[in-house]
Amino acid sequence: MRINTYVTKPAEIQRDWWVVDAKGLTLGRLASQIAVILKGKHKPQYAPNVDAGDYVIVINADRIHVTGKKLTDKMYYRHSMYPGGFKETTLRVMLQKHPERVIQLAVRGMLPKNALGRQMLSKLKVYAGETHPHQAQRPKKLEL
């Protein structure tokens, strides 16, 4: 008896657009659900070696919710690669200056750390306000 195995091909993938309103949602829970959609794990054609995910638009990134003392205790680190170029920023300051980056970094940590993960992350569009420039794609509203 011969069983054929289905292999997902990149040309067969149909990508949808989803819009998520982040107002009042918890950062980690939101990021993990976005990562599932970007990876394509919600589709029956999912394969770990193919980017089968959908596009995700996040609005109201500046109105996310975090629990505990994360606003003061959670730190973001970066380095300029020059001596003494180590910088650290709290979540509170990051939400004030770059609210889009908070969600983007949280989702990035949940995706694969390779070229496929970078390709998946490029399908994430995050906006601090209520509006976004992707109305032409007619995104569906995603309830999380």
Buried/exposed code over 107-139 (b: 16+ C-beta within 10 A; e: otherwise): bbebbeeeeebeebeebbbbbbeeeeeeeebeb
State pLDDT tens for residues 86-128.
999 999 999 999 999 999 999 999 999 999 999 999 999 999 9
pTM check: above 0.75 = yes
Query: How far is the C-alpha of 29 from the C-alpha of 106, rounded, in Å?
Result: 10
Does residue 23 or residue 144 have the better pLDDT?
23
Q: Report all structural domains of the chain as residue ranges with CATH numbers, in order of start.
A: 14-65+99-141 (3.90.1180.10)
